Structure 1
Amino acid sequence: MLSLTEKEVDTIATQLLKGMICFYRIDKKKIHQMPDDEDYFNYDLTKEEEDVLDEIDEDPDNFAEFTKMEPSQEHQMMQDFVDRKIKEKSLAEDLVNALSKPKAATGFKFVIDGSKYKSEWVEYRKDKYLDWVKEQVDAFNYAED
């Protein structure tokens, strides 16, 4: 049964938001993070990161993997933020317009960063990622049963 402290959940969520992938070593209660290879395919792993991957290969049941949200989940989170939090019609339209184009996340970030809602968005996104990490813990525990 995997159980994380609030601090561990926060640490993992923060790393996922930075584009990292996390592995939680259950027996030592240690978090390992490394760049998500989808985002950093030209990244050379450090010796420590290679060692962690070797340990995971040797004992996969001792590690829980935490990944960022899928693009569709991120997109839905941005849409939900607009629907629930944005009061100004013109800003909401600009954000929805950004979400309808290629590179939706980049466009959304550009618009939201220039608005009074930037800090509210950062907090909202972090809260959603805290929930996302907890969902992954639940899924891990369910798969173990």
Structure 2
Amino acid sequence: MFSLTEKEVGLISAQLLKGNVCFFQIDKKKIHHMPDDEDYFNYDLTEEEEDILDEIEENPDNFAEFTKMEPAQEHQMMQDFVDRKIKEKNLAEDLVNALSKPKASTGFKYLIEESKYSSEWKEYRLSKYHDWVKEQVDSFNYSED
């Protein structure tokens, strides 16, 4: 059964929040990360990244892949934060309004970073990403059975 330490969960979460995709090499207990190709399709891989991808292709069972949340999950996380944490009615309305528009996460991020809730949001988001990484570990273990 595959598991991660809290430190590994934290490292993977931080990379996902930066827009990277992570691969955990099970036999060496090593985390590899690189830009998510959906976001960086013009990105040229380094020689080391190409070697890792070749290794993953040759032995996929030795790697667990971790990806960022889907946009709908990110959106729900932002909505939940507003519902649970924002006490000021005007700010809550502005954030909900931002979430209802195109580029919702950009509008939300701008408003939240200018508010007193900025650090609380970062902690909340990181915590939710820790949970997300753990869900992916569970999913990986379930698919192995």
Counterparts of 1:118 and 1:76 in 2: how far apart (Å)? 18
Alignment of 1:101 with 2:95, yes or no, is no
Q: Map 1:35-54 to 2 at 5 A.
A: 35-54=35-54
- Match in the other structure for 1:144: 144
Distance 1:80 1:94 in 2: 15
2: CA distance, partners of 1:56 / 1:99: 37
Who is 2:114 aligned against? Answer: 114
Whether 1:8 aligns to 2:8 is: yes
Partner residue of 1:127? Answer: 127
Letter in 1 for 2:104: A
Distance 2:117 2:3 in 1: 34
Computed over aligned residues only, the root mean square deviation of the Cα atoms, in angstroms, reads 0.3
Q: Unmatched 5+ residue regions in structure 2? A: none
Q: Using the aligned pairs only, state the percent identity.
A: 81
- Counterpart AA for 2:89: K
Aligned residues: 145
- The one-letter code of the counterpart of 1:16 is L
AA of the residue aligned to 1:61: D
Q: TM-score, normalised on structure 1?
A: 0.99
Q: Distance in 2 between matches of 1:45 and 1:105?
A: 28
Question: Helix, strand or coil for the counterpart of 2:64?
Answer: strand
Structure 2 match to 1:91: 91
Give the ranges of 4+ consecutive aligned residues of structure 1 lying more than 6 Å apart after TM superposition: none
- Gapped regions of structure 1 (runs ≥ 5): none
Query: Cα offset for 1:82?
Result: 0.1
Tell me the secondary structure at the aligned position of residue 108 of structure 1: helix
Q: TM-score, normalised by structure 2?
A: 0.99
* SS of residue paired to 2:135: helix
Please give the alpha-carbon distance, in whole angstroms, between the structure 2 residues aligned to 1:143 and 1:116.
Answer: 42
1:18-55 Cα deviation digits (max 9, x unpaired): 00000000000000000001111100000000000000
Distance 1:41 1:105 in 2: 21
Q: Render the CA deviation track for 1:92-143: whole Å, top value 9, x for unaligned.
A: 0000000000000000000001100000000000000000000000000000
